[in-house]
Structures are given as C-alpha cells and as structure tokens.
A = this chain, B = another copy of it.
Amino acid sequence: MNDSNIQLDDNGHLKHFLTIEGLERSLLLNILETAETFSGVGARAVKKVPILRGKTVANLFFEPSTRTRTTFELAAKRLSADILSLNISNSATKKGESLLDTLHTLEAMHCDMFIVRHANSGAAHFIASHVAPNISVINGGDGRHAHPTQAMLDMFTIRKHKPDFSKLRVAIVGDILHSRVARSEIHALSILGASEIRVIGPRTLIPWHIETMGVHIFHDMNAGLKDVDVIVVLRLQQERMRSALLPSESEYFRLYGLTEEKLALAKPDAIVMHPGPINRGIEIDSRVADSRQSVILQQVSHGIAIRMAVMAMTMQSQSGIQPEGGHADPD
C-alpha cells in the first residue's frame, strides 16, 4: 500500500497528511520551511493569522490525547478556523458502516478538515479514502502505524540545532515495537538523508525485520549511544510492564533510562528529544530532561508551527490559499 498516492493531489501538493512513508524529500523540506514562516506567530503579541478563517476543522479523536489534541486545536485557532470537537464513543462506531455514516454526516455539515486519532493502524488512511474530495485528513496518530506531525516537528527541532541531516547519527531509544513515533521518525530521517539511524531497546520491544528499514539495532545503551548527535527517548507505556514484556520500571531505568552517565557517551553537543509527556525516572532522568542538551520543550513549540504548516498546506491544495504565516491578521 503506497499512501503517497492518496496524500498528494494531481499537482503533487499535500492534500492529506497520513504518513511520512513514500513522500519526497522536497515535500518534507517544504513542510519544514512553511513551518518556519509560522514559528514566529507564537511569539507575536497577536498570535493569529486569517489563513483558515471560515473553515471548519473537526477533531475526530477516537483515542484520548491531551497534548496532540491541544496543539492541533491551538494551531487551528491561531489560523482562525472554527473547530468542532466530537466525543466519539466507541459504541457509536463499532461497525465500519457506522463510522462512514458519521464521516458523511460531517461532510454534509461542510467540514473542511478532519484531524484523526485512532487506536487502529490505518484508520486515517481508511477515512481519507472515503471522504469527499474537498476534505483533507490529517493523521494525529493511528495505532502503531504513523504519527507524521510528531515526526516532522522532531525534524524541525533537529534542523534548528543540526542543519545538515547527512552528517547526523540519530538514536531512538525505548519501545520501538509499539511506537508509531519511531516508525514515522525512521521514515523521515531516512528520506532527509540522515547518515545513520539506530534503534536501542530490549529484544522484546524491537520489531522483527526492522533492519529492512535501514536501521541499526542495539540492545545495549552504551554501544548504541556512542557518538550520536541526536537521542530520541520514547515514552514508556506502562501497559507494557503489566503485559510482562518488561520486568519492572526500575530495571528498565537501569538498562535503558537516559542518565547523565549514558548521555556522556554521545557527542558532547548531542541533543535529547522526547515526544512527551515524560516519565521522569523511568525512561529519562530528571537531570537529563532539564539539562541544556534537552530540547523537549522546544519540540512542543515547534509542534504548533508544524501543525499550522500542514493544515495550511492541505487547505492550499484544496483551495489555492497561500500558506504563509508572514502577515498578521489585520485587527
């Protein structure tokens, strides 16, 4: 299944944003550069541009999320869109046909964009395949499959500190098996030409055959962190412990928690990233999370700029609106 077909319109512009896989390097760079024009909006006295004024953005969060939902909502508000937040009970969408009826009803309400988060891999793609042609779908995370805006905000953050991807050695640490963030980051780093991508984690949490994605596998932190430029620490889902994939939190922290000692093995100017919210003392030590090498809070700010960029670009594909964040909304 090649998602890039459905993601692009006939002119090669971004119409939906479902996955990083299969996108061109130039398109990823275009997203990063568009986000650059929006990243100043958050610092203005009037944090508002009229780009999506009169558009209706529907948040379809089938799976709960505070941070992703909040940043999409803020991005939409700062683009002046109207936002519809739906409480989608599981019961109402048990049957596939019923989900489609919900979608068609929202189409009939003249929604312009769906932000979709779903526990099932492929949900955003399924929805994008079935909506009316004038609606854009943005994947806010689907199962273990993809979380493309998270990957792009991480690329944006990396590029701020290390502009040349071809010189980068990046390590992703933790539960790679269940992580849509890891999958999307590996695709993005690989398309942007990172020199080396490493995944580090216990055998139970590394997917089989992941080396076919072009990554190097490490089960030992000391070896894996050696001389890297970027460390992406993944959040440890506590369900993993209960399902016996992991022994205990303290054992996990001893082996894979990022401490100052382990960080010292990376390059001296290595940056530390985390999609948040962080579990202090489980996957990351507080001294590392709060250190000068940590760019975790920058990632949050960049998340809004990236989401504004993607929302503006997909709407541009629909209607020819220019996604430029340069001008403030005249009051």
Contact = CB atoms under 8 A, between A and B. Distances in A.
Contact of A70 (B109, B299, B331): B109
Interface stretch (A80-88, A115-123, A212-220, A228-236): A80-88
Interface in A26-58: 42-48, 50, 53-56
Interface stretch (A2-10, A71-79, A170-178): A71-79
A169 to B, nearest CB: 27
B104 A297 contact: yes
A45 B108 contact: no
Interface stretch (A181-189, A193-201, A276-284): A276-284
A61 to B, nearest CB: 12
Interface of A: 42-48, 50, 53-56, 66-67, 70-71, 73-74, 77-78, 82, 84, 86-87, 92, 97-98, 101-102, 104-105, 107-110, 276-278, 280, 286, 297-301, 304, 319, 321, 328-331
Nearest to A46: B54
Contact of A109 (B92, B104, B105, B301): B301
B54 A97 contact: no
10 contacts: A42-B109, A46-B55, A48-B53, A54-B78, A56-B74, A67-B105, A70-B84, A70-B109, A105-B300, A108-B301
A98 B110 CA distance: 38
Contacts of A66: 86-87, 92
A277 B97 CA distance: 12
Contacts of A45: 54, 319, 321
Nearest to A105: B300
A223 B82 CA distance: 47
B42 A47 contact: no
Between A46, A70, A98, A101, the greatest number of chain B beta carbons within 10 A of the residue's beta carbon is seen for A101
Given A44-B54, A53-B48, A56-B47, A82 B87 contact: no
A107 B46 contact: no
A48 B297 CA distance: 34
A297 B42 contact: no
A242 to B, nearest CB: 16
A276 B273 CA distance: 46
A300 B74 contact: no
Nearest to A87: B66
Given A66-B87, A330-B331, A297 B105 contact: yes
A105 B276 contact: yes
Contacts of A78: 54, 82
Nearest to A329: B54
Contact of A84 (B73, B104, B297, B329): B73
A110 B43 contact: yes
A108 B300 contact: yes
A43 B74 CA distance: 25
Contacts of A92: 66, 277
Between A47, A108, A301, the greatest number of chain B beta carbons within 10 A of the residue's beta carbon is seen for A108
Given A73-B84, A78-B82, A54 B48 contact: yes
A105 B302 CA distance: 12
